[in-house]
Amino acid sequence: MPEAFFSIDDSYSPPEPFDRAIANVDVRCRSNAIEDGLDLDIIVSFGADEVRIELSDGSTIEAMCEIKEAIVVLKTFNCDLGERRVSAPGVGFEYKQNLKGTRTSSSISAARAAATGNLTAPTPNSNLAADASISGETKQQQEDTYEVTAERKFSQVQIGTDQIRIHPNPDLSPLVGNLLEAEKCFKVVPRRNDKPFGILAELQVSKGWMSLSDPRPTSTSTRLTQLLEKKLKGKDPIDDFHRRAFNLLMEHLVSMGLQVDANRKYATLAARAIRVEKVSADETGRRYIGLSERRICLPVAALEAVLFEPRDKVENILIDAGITDLSQLGPLSSSMVFYPSGYRTDGRLVELGAFLESSFKITILRETQDDGENRGAPRIFAPFEFARSFHFTPESKHRKDCNAIEFKIVRDGVEITYMQDNVRLTQVTKRGTFG
């Protein structure tokens, strides 16, 4: 790291924690003499709580924030990290992993002989001597299965040369409490006693280590409030998709805002820095550098758009924001029941696609929510009377020209497109609910 990263004047200061109740790191120096190096104490704490997130229009939302794993990285200026005098204990779990498996031996071949004379015993390392005639040979397959067990132990909090790795809880619950309270965790050795030196400790998370969920409006616009409430309470499959997209975009934008450097892989939740200067032959002066305010502001237009735009446009918004992994969006259910408005919910159900294929002798196309070229399709079950109504609806006048029908799951219903040779004839949306 270039020395200019730590300025000797007051121009450098680490950022304020994202939220002190969620994650924080504290660094303390235990001695004044620098001849043998300075011992550092490290405290790392976590919590699970709601955080307030500011939006570009001045409004705010709140969301539950949880940290599943983290890393503390130490960076030096005009100094190095030396050997610790004592082992630094952590307060996390002691993992004990039991491994179990099976192992199968190779097959064994056996020869069967029909003897007409006497067999003589073989001598060591010699071939079998026999005064006999061999009438045949068979192969006997024999398998022996062995159970293999092993055990591995390691600490949840692992301290390295210049970092502290905090692994997830065994039950994958969020990290809560002081996960590390280590005295003399690191030794700092200045390169020259007459020059100021410093230490920066950053508490960081990578992708997937921090989660934001259950967003709720606190002082948002009427439009965003209505969209959030509708999607959070909605039971349609498309509502679940929009909820996932909103959470994915919110997490990504917050993580980007927490990155000290746009090129970094990690987001910085909290940081602390110390400057040390020699003030006399026997003493040093230490300064715990003040924190600088940082502001994270999310674009409200993009967050609103992912709550109502169709899936293809939502995916484009996420990709434009820098999200490359869309697997969290998930596919729609492989089968669902659709109850159109005005039809009974306790009657006979039929698979809509199969019924129309059989009745109209046409191809049924269903838009999927899966990635890739081999596009699957949800099976839509609907009341029999609704399926029969396709013979009598105004769109049925196109039936003599129609050779394909495409289904698309939309909010509060199914969008139906009548097609002829990939050319759209007409389109209609049937409103209702999904069971």
Q: What is the pLDDT of residues 88-119, one digit of tens each?
A: 555 566 666 666 666 665 544 444 433 334 43
Element (H, E) at 72: strand 70-77
In this model, does residue 175 exceed pLDDT 50? yes
Pair 260, 167 in one domain: yes
Pair 338, 428 in one domain: yes
Within a domain: 152: no
Per-chain mean pLDDT for the chain: 76
Mean pLDDT score, 387-394: 67
Residues 299, 226, 216, 250, Cα dihedral to 10°: -30
Pair 239, 201 in one domain: yes
Domain count, the chain: 2
pLDDT-derived band at 6 (thresholds 50, 70, 90) equals very low
Pair 239, 383 in one domain: no
Which residue, 320, 341, 364, sits at the end of a domain?
320
Q: Please report the pLDDT score of residue 371 as a whole number.
A: 37
| Predicted TM-score of the model (pTM) | 0.65
Q: What span, in angstroms and rounded, lies between the C-alpha atoms of 203 and 72?
A: 4
pLDDT-derived band at 123 (thresholds 50, 70, 90) equals very low
Which residue, 295, 320, 345, sits at the end of a domain?
320
In this model, does residue 25 exceed pLDDT 80? yes
Within a domain: 71: yes
pLDDT-derived band at 427 (thresholds 50, 70, 90) equals confident
Q: What span, in angstroms and rounded, lies between the C-alpha atoms of 75 and 54?
A: 30
Within a domain: 378: yes
Q: Please report the pLDDT score of residue 367 as a whole number.
A: 46
**Burial of 28 by CB count in 10 Å (0-12 exposed, 13-18 middle, 19+ buried)?**
middle
Pair 307, 369 in one domain: no
Q: Please report the pLDDT score of residue 142 as a whole number.
A: 55
Within a domain: 180: yes
Q: Which residue has the higher pLDDT, 393 or 147?
A: 147
pLDDT in tens, 282-310: 677 788 888 888 889 999 999 999 988 87
Which residue, 263, 285, 320, sits at the end of a domain?
320
Nearest one of 431, 410, 415 to 238, comparing CA atoms: 410
pLDDT in tens, 30-74: 766 677 778 888 999 999 999 999 999 899 999 999 999 999 999
Within a domain: 127: no
Tell me which residue range forms the domain holding 337.
Answer: 332-434
